[in-house]
Amino acid sequence: MNASAKPERTRLSAEDWEDAALRLIADQGVGALAVEALARQLGVTKGSFYWHFRTREALLQAALERWEQYGEKEIITQIESMPDPLARLPELFRRVAHELAPHRVYAALLKALDHPQVVPVMARVSQRRLEFLTSIYREAGLVPEEALNRARLTYAAYVGFLQLNFTLGLPRISHEEFDAYVEHMIRTLTPG
């Protein structure tokens, strides 16, 4: 009958706080990142927090860097290892379309682009993904300029979809309808 329903750890580490911060950011936004709220959620008080971190700002910074590390290395290497360049884009689209969870933090950070601390992180992550997309389009046969613009278009569509259907709840698209949308997107944005 404790205040928190969490696994009742006895002692906490800095990483525990960072993970909790990322969870909170994922479903309430960075604006909701308050130390006393986090402490309650972890079943401790502020006294604990200020032992691990000098300030709230420091926690946010650490959490963001931790998130940036986890990255998207696996999916990038897996896609790049595919022999047929033309098959990479459809596979990539279907993959990212069907794992919604990892995008929740990204969607939350998208809404915090006024915050000075998240801007550089998002800039780096988005830039890396954009370059990856561009290279895939090049390998699929587009000339450099076309590849870059198509990558911009594709990534913008991804980001916009997150905002419109994830955060905002437009008419709540169904599962089959979503699959049809993804296939339409593949036909429209993929060369060949």
Partner DNA sequence: TCGTTACCATACGCATGAGTATGGATTGCG
Partner DNA sequence: CGCAATCCATACTCATGCGTATGGTAACGA
Chain residues binding DNA by CB under 7 A are 9-13, 33-37, 39, 43-48, 50-52, 54-57
How far, CA to CA in Å, does 183 sit from each of 89, 94, 153, 173, 187? 12, 8, 16, 15, 6
Residue 8 interface partner, choices a copy of itself, DNA, none, CB cut-off 5-8 Å depending on type: none
Taking the CA atoms of 151, 111, 62 and 37 in sequence, report the sign of the dihedral they define.
negative
Interaction pattern, residues 23-62, with a copy of itself; x per rule: CB under 8 A = -----xx-xx------------------------------
Token output for 181: 């949308």
* Structure-token match 């897996």, residue found: 78
Query: Residue 56 CB, nearest distance to DNA (Å)?
Result: 3
Token output for 97: 């379309």
How far, CA to CA in Å, does 72 sit from each of 62, 93, 126, 127, 164? 18, 14, 11, 13, 23
* 170 binding a copy of itself? (CB under 8 A): yes
State the amino acid at position 121 in one-letter form.
Answer: V
Query: Residue 130 CB, nearest distance to a copy of itself (Å)?
Result: 7
Helix axes 56-70, 118-139, angle to 10 degrees: 10
* 135 binding a copy of itself? (CB under 8 A): no
Among 8, 74, 84, 114, binds a copy of itself (CB under 8 A): 114
* 179 binding a copy of itself? (CB under 8 A): no
Which spans of this chain sit near a copy of itself (rule: CB under 8 A)? 28-29, 31-32, 110-114, 119, 122-123, 126-127, 130, 145-146, 149-150, 152-153, 155-161, 163-164, 167-171, 180-181, 184-185, 188-189
